[in-house]
């Protein structure tokens, strides 16, 4: 692994060593997030400044966890880090990039740099599948292709590696030059060009030019000649290189232009793409085990590289035919006996294991942490050292149970058995584990599946997953984090964030969403009723929780579970205080709701004197944690005068309470829309609700948000009907021409409104619109799929998602996205994933 002294790192980064540790102390690991720390020894914490977070604010947490070496851009409070060493630089991100670039320069192995609008990660992973039999390869973990991800990827390079594959992605001009300096590729692959991630560029031409900067110094460039913009950019680069007397070698391919590899024929069947390729006066046939155009393009890039590397066509054909899908997502599903199952079993390298263990820790609140792990293949490391490092990761993340599958893990099981509080069991292969499997052996556990593909952990996943409805709601956890950070960028310094997770997190889930939000630093959660808060507490959520509609009958349970009530009447206040007295509690936090114009719940201005008097009398028993109100129409510019009136009234009313109480009280008024439309009224805290889930009334904000949920179902049966026949109840849909209908597994009991019957809405089948036909039934509905080719029973149907926004369904149903999201039935399986 890399090894640099603090003195060397300071010289490389242009920094200054300060503090108390020996400058010759050796650093082998880098950490940018104290939450993901695996081993503090020989680790350098890099305090990066982001748009919403400053790593310097988390140095104390890293210090408590054992880190004693820090890369910083402003000096710390010396008395708080008395035995720590610091490297002081002007810009910590630039310093990280310089350190990675220096580390890369020490290696002479071939380095492949991949960029493009799509396919970067797939090409990288497929090259690993194709070449790892012959080379010890280092590659970017997952899709680590950003200004931070690339240097962390390059830092993995070791003397034993024979080939490196790194991907590079950019979102604005000027970024690729920095990544090129870090990766220093000798071989380049430009996958394609499209509209993805174009917001930061003046146009697609500028984006192509920026991406080409990765290949300024490569020996070889592989690309598809059918993209005119890429072709022109390559020609320009060739001219520049020729003028500098450093010719660029090109290996291109095309389906229409003359190229080094000429694709002369492409045909598809149910499971394969068959390709005929003309190469140097010879014709070759290739079978790609996928049917989509993207996979065809990605596979051809890999074929080009293998040709250039000297592989014969028999080897290329054999290996391409065995390509496996690359699962880009880490899935979380509900399992048997109260378990959750995290499936990340498409590979088992050391770095992706660290990412998966971090996700396990994030989502395992209140559950026992279990890992089912296969042998780690093709690591190139000494096995004793490899499994000791894995054991250290397990111990640091608090894993309580390990099921090891594979002969290498069995051979090294003594390493894991030496870890306190880790219960281990080991099997030679997946079949042996399945023979010994009993459902009763797994209960109330968060189970991570992490296995090399050859171990076929999908069979284990099927044993552990709960058998539910085939209609599923997929929740993109990364999109939730993106939306959270977008709204955090609007906050003034010091303003806290309350995340509203009532109504099952707007239909998206309960503990899973709350765990994610807690991990990413929200300060408060808000639910509607006490039972929602109790469910979060039982799930291990420790954040303060505001109950916005508490019922008197739930007060005792709220006190027991430390849930904080919204108080909106004097009667309610007195009832709650009596319960606090009986529970022999004191200083229990409450939240006062003021009515400033919504006229739903809350104290009115005339009630404030009596409220203040009651609060002072009850002071030993309760403490006002916050005073808040609710905007009526903060999203509507036409109502801005009324919004201002509400804010002014809130200021006046809240001041009366704050001035009367002898302690500090928070105030919050802003909801999702007000966070960015009315930042002057952010006060101490804001409440983020619907915006967190990807919906905003402002078109500019909506463009920046990511959709969180995709509702999917499948086709149960296909029928071909003739004129005169009818569809569904009441024969309401009469067939006038030959029609193909698909019955799909979703109905109004799942939350799909019956009022969308008779073609008032459509779903997506193979990406094409399929309108509803006839009445929507309780558990099923019918779609007209006439004209959509190759539709089969079992095919996936998109009910809503990125290509069919939930806002569109709400418009069809004459309602709002809130209702559409919150009425999705609990019988619809929630599946959570992280890219």
pLDDT at 465: 84
Q: Are residues 378 and 280 in the same domain?
A: no
Buried b (16+ CB within 10 A) or exposed e, 329-350: bbbbbbbbeebbbbbbbbbbbe
Does 101 map to a domain? no
Alpha-carbon distance of 291 to 269, in angstroms, equals 7
Domain that holds residue 357: 330-465
pLDDT in tens, 241-274: 988 888 999 999 999 989 999 999 999 887 889 9
pLDDT at 328: 66
The H-or-E segment that residue 95 falls in is helix 92-105
Q: Are residues 228 and 272 in the same domain?
A: yes
Q: Are residues 548 and 635 in the same domain?
A: yes
Q: Are residues 569 and 661 in the same domain?
A: yes
pLDDT at 198: 60
Q: Are residues 337 and 307 in the same domain?
A: no
Q: Are residues 286 and 353 in the same domain?
A: no
29 forms beta bridges with: 43
Q: Are residues 230 and 171 in the same domain?
A: yes
Q: Are residues 344 and 315 in the same domain?
A: no
Does 191 map to a domain? yes
17 forms beta bridges with: 87
pLDDT at 499: 95
Alpha-carbon distance of 378 to 125, in angstroms, equals 14
Of 62, 95, 128, which residue is a domain's last?
95
Q: What is the pTM of this model?
A: 0.77
**What residues act catalytically?**
502, 729
Structure tokens at 182: 């870090």
Q: How many domains does the chain have?
A: 5
Of 414, 448, 465, which residue is a domain's last?
465
Q: What is the CATH number of the domain that holds 45?
A: 3.40.1390.10
Q: Are residues 658 and 731 in the same domain?
A: no
Does 100 map to a domain? no
Q: Are residues 725 and 678 in the same domain?
A: no
Q: Where are the beta strands (DSSP E) in 532-664?
A: 545-547, 564-567, 588-593, 622-628
Of 256, 290, 321, which residue is a domain's last?
321
Distance between alpha carbon 76 and the CA centroid of its chain, in Å? 32
Alpha-carbon distance of 237 to 243, in angstroms, equals 10
Q: What is the CATH number of the domain that holds 645?
A: 3.20.20.10
How many helices (H) and strands (E) the chain has is answered by: 28, 40
Distance between alpha carbon 258 and the CA centroid of its chain, in Å? 41
Does 526 map to a domain? yes
CA atoms 651, 654, 657, 662: torsion sign: negative
Buried b (16+ CB within 10 A) or exposed e, 395-423: bbbebbbbbbbbebbeebbebbeeeeebe
Alpha-carbon distance of 514 to 506, in angstroms, equals 12
Task: Select from 475, 545, 532 the least CA-distant residue to 504.
Answer: 532
pLDDT at 91: 96
583 with 558: CB under 8 angstroms? no
Q: 493 Cβ partners below 8 Å, 6+ apart?
A: none
Q: Are residues 700 and 726 in the same domain?
A: no
Q: Are residues 510 and 529 in the same domain?
A: yes
Alpha carbon distances (Å) from 369 to 339, 393, 466, 621, 707: 10, 13, 18, 38, 30
Q: What is the CATH number of the domain that holds 209?
A: 3.40.1190.10
Does 53 map to a domain? yes
pLDDT at 469: 65
Does 102 map to a domain? no
Q: What is the CATH number of the domain that holds 820?
A: 2.40.37.10
Binding-site residues from annotation for substrate:
600, 778
Q: What is the CATH number of the domain that holds 395?
A: 3.90.190.20
pLDDT in tens, 419-463: 998 999 999 999 999 999 998 999 999 999 998 878 988 889 889
Distance between alpha carbon 141 and the CA centroid of its chain, in Å? 14
Does 545 map to a domain? yes
Alpha-carbon distance of 425 to 686, in angstroms, equals 48
Does 686 map to a domain? yes
Binding-site residues from annotation:
600, 778
Q: What is the C-alpha radius of gyration for the chain, rounded to an integer number of angstroms? A: 29
Low-confidence stretches of the chain (pLDDT beneath 70): 78, 195-199, 328, 346-348, 378-380, 467-469, 503-507, 509, 835
């Amino acid at each position: 692994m890399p090894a640099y002294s603090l003195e060397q790192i300071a010289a490389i980064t242009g920094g200054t060593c300060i503090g108390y540790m020996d400058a010759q102390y050796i650093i082998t690991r880098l950490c940018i997030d104290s939450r993901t720390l695996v081993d503090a020894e020989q680790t350098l914490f890099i305090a990066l400044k982001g748009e919403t977070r400053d790593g310097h604010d988390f140095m104390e947490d890293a210090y408590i966890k054992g880190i004693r070496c820090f890369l910083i851009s402003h000096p710390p409070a010396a008395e708080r880090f008395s035995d720590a060493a610091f490297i002081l630089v002007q810009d910590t991100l630039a310093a990280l990039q310089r350190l990675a670039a220096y580390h890369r320069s020490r290696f002479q192995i071939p380095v492949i740099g991949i960029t493009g609008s799509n396919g970067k990660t797939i090409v990288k992973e497929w090259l690993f599948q194709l070449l790892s039999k012959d080379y010890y390869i280092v590659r970017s973990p997952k899709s680590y292709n950003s200004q931070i991800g690339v240097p962390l990827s390059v830092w993995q390079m070791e003397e034993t590696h024979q080939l490196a594959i790194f991907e590079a992605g950019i979102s604005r001009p000027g970024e690729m030059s920095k990544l090129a300096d870090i990766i220093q590729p000798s071989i380049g692959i430009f996958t394609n060009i499209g509209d993805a991630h174009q917001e930061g560029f003046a146009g697609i031409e500028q984006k192509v030019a920026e991406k080409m900067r990765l290949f300024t110094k490569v020996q070889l460039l592989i690309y598809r000649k059918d993209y005119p913009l890429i072709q022109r950019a390559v020609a320009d680069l060739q001219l520049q290189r020729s003028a500098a007397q450093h010719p660029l070698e090109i290996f291109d391919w095309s389906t229409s232009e003359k190229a080094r590899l000429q694709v002369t024929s492409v045909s598809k069947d149910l499971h394969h793409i068959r390709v005929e390729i003309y190469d140097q006066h010879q014709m070759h046939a290739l079978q790609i085990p996928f049917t989509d155009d993207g996979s065809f393009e990605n596979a051809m890039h890999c074929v080009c590289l293998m040709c250039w590397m000297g592989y014969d066509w028999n080897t290329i054909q054999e290996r391409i035919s065995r390509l496996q899908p690359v699962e880009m997502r880490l899935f979380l599903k509900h399992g048997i006996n109260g378990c959750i199952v995290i499936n990340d079993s498409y590979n088992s390298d050391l770095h992706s294991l660290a990412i998966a263990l971090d996700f396990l820790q994030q989502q395992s609140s209140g559950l026992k942490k279990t890992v089912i792990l296969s042998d780690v293949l093709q690591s190139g490391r000494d096995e004793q050292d490899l499994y000791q490092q894995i054991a250290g990761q397990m111990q640091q993340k608090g894993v309580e149970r390990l099921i090891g599958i594979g002969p290498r893990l069995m051979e090294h099981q003594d390493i894991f058995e030496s870890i306190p509080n880790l219960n281990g069991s080991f099997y030679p292969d997946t079949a042996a584990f399945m023979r010994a499997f009993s459902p009763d052996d797994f209960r109330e556990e968060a189970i991570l599946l992490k296995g090399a593909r050859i171990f076929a952990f999908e069979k284990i996943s099927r044993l552990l997953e709960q058998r539910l409805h085939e209609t599923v709601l997929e929740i993109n956890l990364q999109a939730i984090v993106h939306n959270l950070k977008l709204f955090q960028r609007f906050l003034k310094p010091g303003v806290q964030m309350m995340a509203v997770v009532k109504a099952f997190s707007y239909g998206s889930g309960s503990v899973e969403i709350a765990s994610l939000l807690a991990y990413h630093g929200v300060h408060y959660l808000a639910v509607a009723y006490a039972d929602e808060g109790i469910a979060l507490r039982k799930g291990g959520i420790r954040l303060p929780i505001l109950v916005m509609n508490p019922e008197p009958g739930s007060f005792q349970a709220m006190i027991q579970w430390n849930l904080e009530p919204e108080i909106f009447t004097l009667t309610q206040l007195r009832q709650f205080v009596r319960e606090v007295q009986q529970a022999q509690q004191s200083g229990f936090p409450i939240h006062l709701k003021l009515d400033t114009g919504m006229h739903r719940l809350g104290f009115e201005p005339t009630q404030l004197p009596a409220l203040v008097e009651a609060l002072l009398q009850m002071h030993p028993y309760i403490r006002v944690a916050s005073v808040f109100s609710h905007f009526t129409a903060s999203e509507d510019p036409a109502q801005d005068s009324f919004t201002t009136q509400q804010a002014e009234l809130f200021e006046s009313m809240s001041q009366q309470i704050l001035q009367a109480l002898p302690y500090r009280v928070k105030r919050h008024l802003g909801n999702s829309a007000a966070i960015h439309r009315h930042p002057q009224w952010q006060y101490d805290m804001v409440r983020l609700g619907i915006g967190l889930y990807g919906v905003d009334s402002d078109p500019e904000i909506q463009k920046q948000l990511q959709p969180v949920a995709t509702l999917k179902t499948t086709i149960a049966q296909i029928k071909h009907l003739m004129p005169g026949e009818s569809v569904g109840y009441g024969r309401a849909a009469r067939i006038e021409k030959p029609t193909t209908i698909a019955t799909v597994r979703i109905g109004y009991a799942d939350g799909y409104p019956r009022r969308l019957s008779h073609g008032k809405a459509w779903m997506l089948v193979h990406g094409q619109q399929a309108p509803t036909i006839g009445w929507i039934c309780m558990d099923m509905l019918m779609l007209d799929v006439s004209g959509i080719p190759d539709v089969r029973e079992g095919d996936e149907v998109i009910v809503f998602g990125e290509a069919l926004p939930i806002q569109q369904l709400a418009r069809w149903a004459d309602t709002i996205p809130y209702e559409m999201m919150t009425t999705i039935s609990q019988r619809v399986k929630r599946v959570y994933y992280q890219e």
